[in-house]
Amino acid sequence: MQIVFLSCVFTIISLFHWSHVNAQVKEGVLEGVSKARPGSNSAVRDAMKSDAEREAQNPPVRGFSQKDVGVIGGSGENGVGIYGHNDSATKPAAIIQNWGTGDHLIIGNEKSPSVRIDHTGDIYVRGKKVGQKGEKGDKGDAGPAGADGKTGAMGPQGPAGPPAHTIAACAPTQSCNCSGRTVTRMNGYCVVTSDNGGCENKTETGCCVVCAAQ
């Protein structure tokens, strides 16, 4: 009689325990990696596994290739080729790094990608570089002076000045000097005119001068 009573108590406790675990699985409290029906013994067993046990059952995927592709993922028309996630507050879900000088990431056709991230971190969308415009740079140094321009056209003649009284003088030697302002002076054979008349020098060593009267 006592054995039957204890057996009934054990059965009731077991049913309560497994019904509590099944409820946690249905509510998403326990994580499962099995495709078994929620609430089944297989789903419960998977949900009760530790992270180490699940990692041992589903080891990390690693690949390396010197010339080809290290890891390839694909799916049919209703699936996803590669999917990754984590629950870390400090680690990213994915790290893509090129240790050389090539691009970090290409999305789309390799020769004509939709999105490309080069080694410096610049992003190109359909071949056009995108990103924030940088701050205006400092003013550069002044460039060298340019070449002189062409001589301009001669301007119109100015108005006539006030009348001036001039005196002409010629000499066979270099003795043509004005006591005031010199209007014009020539050496050698020369002819000059002024208000008081003109003169001529016929020697190579002479001179002609026109002086403004004081």
**pLDDT for the residue 74:** 83
- Going residue by residue through the chain (214 aa), what tens digit of pLDDT does each one get? 434 333 433 344 444 444 443 444 344 333 333 344 444 556 556 666 777 887 788 788 887 777 878 888 888 888 888 888 888 899 888 888 888 888 888 888 888 999 999 988 889 999 898 887 788 889 999 999 989 888 888 889 888 766 668 999 999 998 889 988 899 999 999 999 998 889 999 999 999 999 988 7
Cβ atoms within 10 A of the Cβ of 190, count?
19
**pLDDT for the residue 33:** 36
Q: Strand, helix or coil at 65?
A: coil
- Distance between CA 51 and CA 48 in Å, rounded? 10
